[in-house]
Amino acid sequence: MKFPKDFFWGGATAANQVEGAWNIEGKGMIETDISASGGVNKHRVLTYQLPTGEIVEVPMFGRVPEGANPYVDPTRYYPNHEAIDFYHHYKEDIALFAEMGFKMYRMSISWSRIFPKGIENEPNQAGLEFYRNVFLELKKYKIEPLVTLWHFDTPLYLETETGGWMNRSTIDHFVRYAEIVMTEYKDLVNYWITFNEINNRLFFLEMLPESQRQQAAQISIQELHHQFLASAKVVKLARQINPQNKIACMINGVTPYPLTSRPSDVLMAQEALKQGIYYCGDIQVRGKYPSFAKRLWEKYGVELEMEADDAAVLLEGKVDIFSFSYYMSMCLTTDEEAQTGQGNFSFGALNPYLDYSDWGWGIDPTGLRYILNELYGRYEIPMMVVENGLGQDDTLEADGSVHDPYRIDYLKRHVEAMSEAIADGVDLIAYTSWGCIDLISAGTGQMSKRYGFIYVDLDDEGNGTRQRYRKDSFYWYQRLIATNAEEM
């Protein structure tokens, strides 16, 4: 196994999935604060109150009824409110990361902790102080922070009052927030990610019922245009603030395969790669819309609004690094009968050559080597795998141990795949596995979908001490980092 000697081994989390402290020291609300727990494999629901007083539940990404206000129902459980309380445990947690030998910790700053509504003139000092303390703690252990500016957490005020990312003014609010934090932490942080999994909604468009696709595409593609502009402006600013800064895009790397060698299946997988990954990647890495963009807009009947100097803004904001998440591949086919709907996220087909996780995600380390080669071949800039891991429930034994050989096996096979990709010539510089400490699942709101090396005593209903325990995978990862994956 050969990894460069300064390879960044580490782990990753996101503010709203670990911090808790949802409404203290000035933090404003975000979507997950009104997102009640959904139970096993159910999508989460947002809670709103109608002007009549009636409480309604809206599926995540669903349409909010006219006039409805965000509402926290005191009879429901909101898992992100306290989460694993990283806000008050960060010293202990970072000490555990250091004990594993982390070289890098990917985390996110919560925008609404800095600008509670997104529109204020002055940043919230308590929020700035919290992240300063976190970065100082990391520095103590020489752990390099990799900081995501947006991890699905636009201030709720912007979402509900101003039209969120459909409104161009959100670009300015975001850029101002980014400028404040990049200036504030310019001596503490050098690696930044602008938007987490920016491609998600485009990727998952095909999951929607056909009757909703066109409207959803119109919104997604317009909002994305605004996020691309925001990202590009932040890239330019980051370089002005500190020439040492390195900025990455971040793409959800679900890898499409054709189910069969039927040419139409092969083409369908290629279309999914273009729509799902290259559309966003090309704009952020090459600074311009790809040649296939026009045809994609036409496919969904999208009318994209652009201003005259947008193209120049995009061209000036090309990222330095390509980062992505990788959990699984997916299988596509034009054969209606083979579309069992049993593949990941209940669309596509089941891949007969893969095992699936308890949450139905297809485990495919070879897919990671494949997509690393694809992406590096196209972009030829340094790559980072900033999320990867197995979500599975664990058992805490009476003696405080947690035996998770399934997780070790999953991670080991993905590390081997990365090693092969490096041997193939890919310039891979970092691996931060997802949920290095157990956290609240983004998709389901569950605690039982655990990814961590560190177990947190908390269940899906919020019971538990939140005490931390080292899993077997903790010691495995520690050994891997110590030997730079020579031994694992």
Interacting residue ranges for ligand P53, rule: CB under 6 A: 14, 17, 196-197, 252, 325, 327, 387, 391, 434, 441-444, 449
Backbone φ and ψ of 266, nearest 5°: -60, -45
Q: Which is nearer to ligand P53, 207 or 311 (CB)?
A: 207
Count other C-beta atoms under 10 Å from residue 103's C-beta: 18
Q: For residue 38, give the nearest of 461, 486, 451 by alpha carbon.
A: 461
Reduced to 3 states (helix: H, G, I; strand: E, B; else coil), residue 281 is helix
Shortest distance (Å) from residue 121 CB to ligand P53: 30
Q: For residue 453, give the nearest of 110, 105, 171, 70 by alpha carbon.
A: 105
∠ CA 389-455-127, nearest 5°, is 85
Locate tokens 């590390």: which residue?
Answer: 415
Non-local CB neighbours of 209 within 8 Å, separated by 6+ positions? none
Q: Which is nearer to ligand P53, 58 or 304 (CB)?
A: 58
Shortest distance (Å) from residue 436 CB to ligand P53: 12
Please pick, among 82, 387, 461, 486, the residue that the annotation labels catalytic: 387
Please pick, among 31, 137, 159, 197, the residue that the annotation labels catalytic: 197
Q: How far is CA 426 from CA 97, 211, 368, 387, in A?
A: 27, 41, 12, 18
Q: Which is nearer to ligand P53, 290 or 443 (CB)?
A: 443
Shortest distance (Å) from residue 248 CB to ligand P53: 14
Closest residue to ligand P53: CB criterion: 443
| 66 labelled catalytic | no
C-alpha 317/C-alpha 315 separation (Å) is 6
Q: Is the dihedral of CA 207, 212, 214, 219 positive or negative?
A: negative
- CA atoms in the 13 A half-sphere facing the CB of 261: 0
Looking at the DSSP bridge assignments, the partners of residue 9 are: 431
Backbone φ and ψ of 27, nearest 5°: -65, 140
Q: Which is nearer to ligand P53, 196 or 231 (CB)?
A: 196
Rg of the chain (C-alpha set): 21
Shortest distance (Å) from residue 290 CB to ligand P53: 22
User: Could you tell me how many helices (H) and strands (E) the chain has, helices first?
Assistant: 16, 18
C-alpha 479/C-alpha 485 separation (Å) is 8
Pairing label, strands 454-456, 468-470: antiparallel
Looking at the DSSP bridge assignments, the partners of residue 47 are: 57
Reduced to 3 states (helix: H, G, I; strand: E, B; else coil), residue 320 is coil
Reduced to 3 states (helix: H, G, I; strand: E, B; else coil), residue 32 is helix
- CA atoms in the 13 A half-sphere facing the CB of 481: 23
Shortest distance (Å) from residue 241 CB to ligand P53: 26
Q: For residue 433, give the nearest of 451, 421, 445 by alpha carbon.
A: 451
Cβ–Cβ under 8 Å, residues 402 and 395: yes
Shortest distance (Å) from residue 449 CB to ligand P53: 5
Shortest distance (Å) from residue 443 CB to ligand P53: 3
Shortest distance (Å) from residue 54 CB to ligand P53: 29
Q: Which is nearer to ligand P53, 313 or 407 (CB)?
A: 407
Q: Which is nearer to ligand P53, 327 or 376 (CB)?
A: 327
Cβ–Cβ under 8 Å, residues 268 and 334: yes
| 120 labelled catalytic | no
Shortest distance (Å) from residue 24 CB to ligand P53: 22
Q: Which is nearer to ligand P53, 47 or 252 (CB)?
A: 252
Reduced to 3 states (helix: H, G, I; strand: E, B; else coil), residue 321 is strand
Q: Which is nearer to ligand P53, 14 or 247 (CB)?
A: 14
Q: Which is nearer to ligand P53, 205 or 422 (CB)?
A: 205
Q: Which residues are catalytic?
A: 197, 387
